[in-house]
Amino acid sequence: MLILEEQASILNPTLFFGAFEWREPVTSITDFMIAITCIIGFIYLSRNKEVDDRTFRLYRLYFLMFAIGMTSAAWFGHGLQAYVSFEWKMIGWLFSLAGQTVFAFASLSGARSALPDPLHKALRLLIGLLFATFLIWILSPARSFAVAQLANGVFAVGLILPLQLFQYARFRNYGNLIILGALVYGILPSFIFNQQISVNRWFNYHDISHVLLCGFMALMIFGVRKLELITVQRSI
């Protein structure tokens, strides 16, 4: 028997299937949609063997990290919260942090040939320090989803976007331009989430932002593949 539990907030009502409790069902499904998009990207890009250098291995790892993180967020962070403690949410936050760190290293690796060695080393150190700082913060008693959001913003705006812009200006690779477009587009789901723009409890700000993030990941897959194709063409 299906019973809806009434809630006062904008969160999805909980579903009961007999004794089984499924919290935030639409939110967990849309979160898992992001994970599926990421795993598709990982598999698709892993099958392309034309280019297999450090940069593209890092991009593939980025999609894998987010696939794991979003799967955890979907079920431990939302759907199965009746059965796990709050601390389980940290799995998704930690894999999100790892994914953003890998994305930053991939962006740096792509720019390596055009960067002075001292600057390259300094940026590598900065990425490592930022990762360590946010890792400690997420594991501290002051942890919250806001910390994971801040980490994503710092990496995206402070490191990834400038490195992708530098690469496009230097190499004129349209893959970098697509990734830049994805980063700018990524402002939209963040805005909707932070402003809590919702249709109703069955399609709230979580759900809308998750659907839009699927589009972000699709753009990222297309951008990385374009990087690969142009890299292959220039190596011939």
| The pair of three-digit structure tokens given for residue 21, joined into one six-digit string | 């409790």
User: Could you tell me the pLDDT band of residue 231, with boundaries at 50, 70 and 90?
Assistant: confident
Residue 5 has what pLDDT? 42
Residue with token string 């990762």: 131
User: Could you tell me the pLDDT band of residue 65, with boundaries at 50, 70 and 90?
Assistant: very high
Residue 4 has what pLDDT? 39
Q: Which amino acid is at 84?
A: V
Residue with token string 């990941």: 217
User: What are 156-170's pLDDT values in tens digits?
Assistant: 999 999 999 999 999
Residue with token string 């930053």: 104
Domains of the chain: 25-235 (1.20.1070)
Task: Give the lowest-confidence range in 65-74, 144-153, 213-222.
Answer: 144-153
User: Could you tell me the pLDDT band of residue 235, with boundaries at 50, 70 and 90?
Assistant: low
| The pair of three-digit structure tokens given for residue 35, joined into one six-digit string | 């994970």
Write down the pTM of the prediction.
0.92
User: What are 8-54's pLDDT values in tens digits?
Assistant: 489 999 999 999 999 999 999 999 999 999 999 999 999 887 777 89
Q: Residue 186 pLDDT more than 50?
A: yes
pLDDT, mean of residues 95-110: 98
Mean pLDDT (the chain, rounded): 93
End-to-end CA distance of the chain: 62
